[in-house]
Amino acid sequence: MNGMADTTTIRISRDTHARVTRLAAERHETIDETVSRAIRALRQDAMGADLAADLTDDEVAWLDADAG
């Protein structure tokens, strides 16, 4: 992904560390790459949920407004 020139440490449980380490090994990538992909997937899921949600009354009114 973007290398690890600038890094920091995050505190996670030993169980989570073992799970992410195992997942990274299965995917033949670094832990950093696996975590980055997981974060991106979570953001995409949230975006998809937002897009799938029903429009609010204000949004419907705005879309129905006369543009001219």
The encoded tokens of residue 53 equal 């949600």
Full-model pTM? 0.71
Q: Rounded to whole angstroms, how far apart are CA atoms 5 and 11?
A: 20
Q: Which residues contact 29 (CB under 8 A, 6 or more apart)?
A: 37
The confidence score (pLDDT) of residue 65 equals 86
Asked if the model's pLDDT at residue 45 lies above 60, the reply is yes
CB 35 within 8 A of CB 27: no
pLDDT band at 5 (very low <50, low <70, confident <90, very high): confident
